[in-house]
Structure 1
Amino acid sequence: MKLWDKGFSTDKKIDHFTVGNDRELDLLLAKYDVIASTAHAKMLAKVGLISEDEGIALEKELKFILGTIEQGTFTIEDDFEDMHSKIEFLLTERLGDIGKKIHSARSRNDQVLVAMQLFLKEELNEIKSQVKALFDLLIELAEKHQQVLLPGYTHLQIAMPSSFGLWFSAYAESLVDDLYFVQAAYKVADQNPLGSAAGYGSSFPIDRTFTTEELGFETLKYNVVAAQMGRGKVEKATAFGISSIAATLSKLAMDITLYMSQNFDFISFPNELTTGSSIMPHKKNPDVFELIRAKCNKIQAVPNQLTLITNNLPSGYHRDLQLVKESIVPALQDMKACLEMMTFSLKEIRVNQNILNDPKYDYLFSVDTLNEMVKNGMPFRDAYKTMGTAIENGTFKPNKDIEHSHEGSLGNLKLNEIENKFKVIWNA
């Protein structure tokens, strides 16, 4: 069944090419198409395009279909082009002509728009919750290990003392920045496009304010052309949001992979969170974190994919837009999996308490030793030269009794302030 069926068949190759993997992706989106269809049916009854009894009948059958989706028994067979055609078929099969009336005053274009935006809103909220779980864990780890020193690097050369408290809370505060992008994406998605039909509105006297309130959107996408132009744009906004999180997770995964190696030996994990080698019995590989890194790097490519699909399209609907679904939906699933696995694994992290006892890290304290000279009255440039000469001559003696007290330094992490910053964006 095709919603655009005019009584003749298209070539099977054309069908296969144009439908693509829509059926598989639509199994994730069908719930939201049913929710939107229910609101649409209520609106049709409200404005008198169908009777009150017809509206009730449609609501009842849509509720039944929603139940099959939630139970996992809903399918989209090859006879159907997508979720829309299968749902309308089921309504017509059970209600006859009443089922055929559900498509009045809408198009498959605004059906896709509203289902996708409802889906994205829910996905973004779920991702926000996962980010919060990771944030809370990082703050907890920062507090627990704030006194444990860790080498800080620039150019992968040892630079200055850091700490596990500083390292964990750095990623926590980075997640705050990521949520700004996620929140912006949510605002873009939280505009009701239903009623824009094929992109030019309808001659039916529909009530778009009613469906906006019924579906829980913050506002209406008023201009019907603008609503249609939102397809691809809302997905791209979402992609930017999750790609920001992905960048943070990828960097954290890279740090963990380095720090687990024998050359660093800063952290470790229980055996059950690592993998072995087929020939090297000593190996404890960080496969989980390598895959998080790779998957998150893939996610960071999604905004560019969506840009290349949509950047030269004029206004109005074009079939190119079908492809944005197959970029954003898997990316969201990968994002949730990466957040889940990072949080799950980090709960078991083991921290090396005595890293800086190794003499190779003595030069980490050169800046702090230099700063003591400055505090005692020596001009900075003279202290710098004196320190450089001592290092060159092998007479440098580190002052390891360091004190970093300014806001955000290893001696003053400001964890409460970082938590408050997170709360502000969380409640926005």
Structure 2
Amino acid sequence: MTMQHDGIAVPTSGGARGTRPRTHAVPRPNEGVWPGLATPPVAPAKARIAESLFRNAVRSLPVRVVFPGGERLGAGGPTSPVMRIERPSAFFHRLGANSKIGFGESYMVGDWTTTDLPGLLTPFAARLSTLVPPALQRLGRRFAEARRPTAEVNSVEGSRENIHRHYDLSNELFSLFLDNTMSYSAGWFADGSDDLVLAQERKIDGILDMAGVEAGMHVLEIGTGWGGLATRAAQRGARVTTLTISQEQKTLAEARLAEAGVADRVQVLLRDYREAQGSYDAVVSVEMIEAVGVEYWPTYFAALDRLLKPGGRVGLQSITMPHDRMMVARNDYTWIHKYVFPGGIIPSVEAIEDNLARHTGGLHVAERRSLGYDYARTLGHWRTRFLARWDEVEALGFDETFRRMWEFYLGYCEAGFRVGYLDVVQFSLQRRPSF
């Protein structure tokens, strides 16, 4: 495949999943294309400010930062994570140009390294809101940081493109680091167990219970994944209609459903949630709302309400973040948006409750369960498996830049769940009784 860092290249072989015209340059990891990544931005004034802020921030963190020549910063002891700044100038220029993107990009290109990525990122995540003074945060949002591209708004067509950029990377890639259930969401570990398969099965049963799924029901799933939840619902005796906008996922999900012997009870539709029709005894949606976008939350919750029969329940699993942080960050364009989940936004519990109150006919949160620390453990499993099987991932056509990108993505998320900056919640949504 083509290996190009600057500009958009046309792939010559391998890895391509069908490129589409775009109005702005975006990374194409499965084609080895990383627009603009090879060359650090030139921003000397911003770099000096970034260096001053970084040095001041890490002095009190339980980490050890080592510069070329031996200079050391940080409040960490001998067993604390070590961050080695290999190319200080490039690192601070990337950080100064846009801290929310540059920090991750500098890891992707090797400007800094560490032997314990989630361990290093955890103390940063714990103090994320205080590392930079509030006044400078506001100034940065206004003048320095990139805004989310309009091309990544989650319209029907925009959602398909955003999902294509992540979930259609390669079914084989995901199969190498996920467990046998092919669940790409938080597991729910039983006390004393570290078995990821059992944790994922427990999670699936947990959300099906939240929706009250039983034999004889017709269940709608919004967001098929690779068919694990639909399989389990069918094994309970339910009939399932499941929606996906990823052709790659639809193909593999149907094969897995057939292998499990439940294909006659599950229909996989290549369809957006906004195009869904019918009336269902239960609706389930696991970690799909994060791809909806703030402007479409009313439409999403109205769809849940419209598609649910009277007396039915919704099982909703969502990553969440504190409401104040969500409000501050909802228009930001971050490293995660650029490289992993274009168009994504994580809601708060308050935002979910507010949208239920405003845009449904009485749906409310009747029960909830937090699995935040379980997600940290799940991500740890994925990262370990990904690195252990890197040779097989590389054989699929992915390059070293992708390896560092995916490792940073998994470690960055693990750190967020470790410290509670992120949570994941299972909700049972029910209609309030009318009197």
In the superposition, the TM-score normalised over structure 2's length comes to: 0.18
In the superposition, the TM-score normalised over structure 1's length comes to: 0.18
Q: Which has the larger radius of gyration?
A: 1
